[in-house]
Amino acid sequence: MVVDGFDKTEPLGVALGMTKEDTISYIPFFVNKYLKEQVSVVVKNADDEMVAVQLCSIESRHQQQSDDLYAKLKPTAKALRVLEFLVHMENDIWSLVPPDVNHILKLQITYVRPDYTGRGIAKQMSSMRMDTARKLGCQGISTTSTNAITQHLRLKEGYQPLKTVMYEDWKDSEGNVIFRMKDASDRAILTFKRF
């Protein structure tokens, strides 16, 4: 479901003109990695079809980062552009959250099937699994929002911006803007909310 729709709906992928091949080169890896987490959410309709996901993980300040991620993934050039940007957004998160915060719930991928958007599903999913995350020791919740809609939602929910990058400022080595946005999204925001 996510592969089917992400290239046509997620603003960074749309800006790059991603194809299914680009999406397949990185999204399934993350879906497989996070779907099994007990803090992830899957929404199904009455016909038992999956219509939305909120894929999450629990991240800890002192955990070892895997450095062979790209080797495992083999992303296409466009997928690599997105991954590099997301790494830039999140690589200093532990210096941006309050110093006493050591474990966070991280919203990794939020996706609602296009025929189910605008019904409050993303909003509902964002309040789920909070108790589980707290019981597992999380002190807050964080996400990078690349989409103007999720940014509106997170800020309304009381998340604080930790870092903002305007897409017009994110350029390649020749000075060209990488993400030429096709919708109202003009920035990415890393946000955090304490429980």
Ligand X SMILES: CC(C)(COP(=O)(O)OP(=O)(O)OC[C@H]1O[C@@H](n2cnc3c(N)ncnc32)[C@H](O)[C@@H]1OP(=O)(O)O)[C@@H](O)C(=O)NCCC(=O)NCCS
Cβ closer to ligand X: 102 or 117?
117
Residues with Cβ within 8 Å of 73's Cβ and at least 6 positions away in sequence, in order, are 25, 26, 29, 79, 83
Smallest CA-to-CA distance from 125 within 103, 110, 145 is with 110
Binding track, positions 71-110, relative to ligand X; x by CB under 6 A: ---------------------------------------x
191 scored as a contact of ligand X (CB under 6 A): no
Cβ closer to ligand X: 8 or 61?
8
Least separation in angstroms between CB 193 and ligand X: 15
Distance between CA atoms of residues 143 and 193, nearest Å: 9
CA–CA distance from 112 to each of 64, 156, 178, 183 (Å)? 31, 19, 25, 17
Distance between CA atoms of residues 26 and 149, nearest Å: 23
CA atoms within 13 A on the CB side of 87: 11
111 scored as a contact of ligand X (CB under 6 A): yes
119 scored as a contact of ligand X (CB under 6 A): yes
Least separation in angstroms between CB 128 and ligand X: 12
Instruction: Choose the binding region for ligand X from 63-71, 76-84, 147-155, 170-178 (rule: CB under 6 A).
Output: 147-155
Distance between CA atoms of residues 1 and 148, nearest Å: 22
Q: Which of residues 3-42 bind ligand X (CB under 6 A)?
A: 9-11
Instruction: Choose the binding region for ligand X from 60-68, 74-82, 146-154, 159-167 (rule: CB under 6 A).
Output: 146-154
121 scored as a contact of ligand X (CB under 6 A): yes
Cβ closer to ligand X: 123 or 182?
123
Cβ closer to ligand X: 140 or 154?
154
Give the position of tokens 């939305």.
Answer: 52
Smallest CA-to-CA distance from 77 within 3, 13, 32, 28 is with 13
Q: Which residues make up the interface to ligand X (CB under 6 A)?
A: 9-11, 110-112, 117-123, 145-147, 149-150, 152-153, 156
